[in-house]
Amino acid sequence: MSRLGSSDGTTTLETTLMIVVLLPVLFAILEFGDAFHRWLAQDAATAQAARFAAEVGGDTPEVRALLASALRDAGIDPARAEVQITPSRVGWREPIHVQVRTDLPVSVPFAFSAVLPLRSSAVTRGELAR
C-alpha cells in the first residue's frame, strides 16, 4: 500500500479523541450512580428513623443513634449529616418530620467537580398515646 493511502495515523487520532470524550462520560456514570445509591440509602435511613421516632414518641437519643447507625452502614459519615426532627415530642397520630441533609463531593476527571446536596425527609404519625 502506498504511503498516501495509509490510515494508521488517522486511527490513532480517532482513538485518542474518543478516549478523551468517553473517559469522562464513564466516570460521570460511576459518580452519579454512587450519588444515587447514597441518596437511596439516606432516604431509607430517614424513613426508618421517622418510624422509630413515631414509636418512641419523638426525638430521643435512641432515634439519633439508630439514624447514625443506618447512615454509617450506608457509608455516610453521620457527623457530617444535618438532622432535624420536629417536633421533639409527639402524641397519638401527631405528625413527626425527620429531615437529613448531607453533601456529596462529585468529581469527574477532565470535566468538573461539584458538591451535590442530598436531602431526605420522612413524615409519620405518632403511635404513642400520652
Where do the DSSP E strands lie in 1-44?
none
- Please count the other Cβ atoms lying within 10 Å of the Cβ belonging to residue 124: 19
What per-residue confidence (pLDDT) applies to 85? 96
What per-residue confidence (pLDDT) applies to 127? 86
Model confidence over 62-109: pLDDT tens digits?
A: 999 999 999 999 999 999 999 999 999 998 899 999 999 999 999 988
For residue 31, the surrounding DSSP H or E stretch is: helix 8-56
Rounded CA separation 95/74 (Å): 26
What per-residue confidence (pLDDT) applies to 6? 65
pTM of this structure = 0.82
Rounded CA separation 35/32 (Å): 5
Rounded CA separation 70/98 (Å): 14
Contact 44, 70 (CB under 8 A): yes
Model confidence over 16-46: pLDDT tens digits?
A: 888 888 999 999 999 999 999 999 999 999 9
Instruction: Provide the residue ranges of all domains of the chain, joining segments of one domain with +.
Output: 7-125
Mean pLDDT, residues 108-128: 91
